[in-house]
Structure 1
Amino acid sequence: MKKTVFIGLAIGLLATAGTAGAQTDPLQVRSWAAACANCHGTNGSAQPGNEPLAGASKDEMLKKLRDFRSSAKPATIMHQLSKGYTDEQLEAIAGWFAAQKK
């Protein structure tokens, strides 16, 4: 019985592990967003010369990220980085930055 419950839980966790929907762990989203700190600053508060992300519009950020990924928006590195995330992950990252204080 315990083995069956464990297997069921494991399958359930694996089924949701790759999504960024409502069940996504906020710490996971913060980890994804941390990859942006080199250029956009800690918590999206960029140094002069880089685009700040903190408090920006989630919808505008998400559009830019999708445009980078499709190469509709020219970039030096963002077109490569954005291809490493799913739509759901990009949406979660944009939402995280939008929620940060400017």
Structure 2
Amino acid sequence: MKRLLICLILLLSSTWVYADPNIALLASSCAGCHGTNGYSKGEMPKLAGLQPDYFIQQMQAFANGERESSVMRHHAPAYTETEIRLLAEYFSTR
């Protein structure tokens, strides 16, 4: 019984660890174009400080082809809805 309980705890804890992606790591993939933490210093749009709803709308528009972009049309569809929402919250607080 004790062994079963330990196995169950380990199983549930490992599921919990992987349930929420590392948002800082996920956001770091945006830095190549949009700057560290979304502070773009070039022509790319700044992501830092964007309202979450606006960020989500734009990512959905890229993903479904409503908004044109040679780069984002490839990146946006790869994110899950949860990842997009987490990124929106992350960048809104930068």
TM-score (norm 2): 0.85
Query: Which structure has the larger Rg?
Result: 2
* 2:45 is equivalent to residue 51 of structure 1: yes
In structure 1, stretches of 5+ residues that fail to align are 19-23
Distance 1:6 1:59 in 2: 42
TM-superposed deviation, 1:9: 2.9
Distance 1:85 1:31 in 2: 13
Which residue in the other structure is 2:5 paired with?
Answer: 5
Distance 2:6 2:60 in 1: 38
Which residue in the other structure is 1:82 paired with?
Answer: 76
In structure 2, stretches of 5+ residues that fail to align are none
TM-superposed deviation, 1:94: 1.0
- Aligned to 2:36, which of 34, 42, 45? 42
TM-score (norm 1): 0.79
Distance 1:2 1:84 in 2: 42
Q: Name whichever structure is richer in helix by fraction.
A: 2
Which residue in the other structure is 1:94 paired with?
Answer: 88
How many equivalent residue pairs?
A: 93
